[in-house]
Structure 1
Amino acid sequence: MLSVHAAVVFLAAVIIGLVMGGLMFLHDKSVPTAVAAGLGSFGLSVPVLHKLIG
């Protein structure tokens, strides 16, 4: 089970990853670039959101 804090952090990180991936896809029309940007922004936003929200 996840705590509410962890669930909020992961949900916000997923939303950020989806938005960044979508924007990269609209810009480059390349799926691998969009996936890499989405995963990268998800991974980088988790620790930042953990500090900001917690």
Structure 2
Amino acid sequence: MNRSLLTMRSALILLLGVLVGVGAGVLTACADGGGDARSVMVGATAFAAAVAFFNSIIDQAH
């Protein structure tokens, strides 16, 4: 009963999505100079797009 919660592929896709989302949010905050809500929205949108993108390019091993 020692099963992992996520597969290695899922963990990698989510990690890359989080990194892209945080990077986009930080860059937006630096460029905007105080738009916290805008930075969060940009980060969340970038996260969703990155997860969809990496899910399509990282091949599933059978």
| TM-score class normalised by the smaller sequence | over 0.9
Which structure has greater helix proportion?
1
**How many residues of Structure 1 are paired with residues of Structure 2 in the alignment?**
54
The ranges of structure 1 where at least 4 consecutive aligned residues each deviate by more than 3 angstroms after the TM superposition are: none
Report % sequence identity.
24
Q: 5+ unaligned residues in a row in structure 2: which ranges?
A: none
Please give the root-mean-square deviation of Cα atoms over the aligned residues, in Å: 0.7
Q: CA deviation at 1:52?
A: 1.2
Separation of aligned partners in 1, 2:58 and 2:24 = 20
TM-score by length of 2: 0.83
Larger Cα-atom Rg:
2
Q: What do the CA deviations read for 1:1-50 (whole angstroms, capped 9, x no partner)?
A: 11000000000000000000000000112111100000000011111101
Q: 5+ unaligned residues in a row in structure 1: which ranges?
A: none
TM-score by length of 1: 0.94
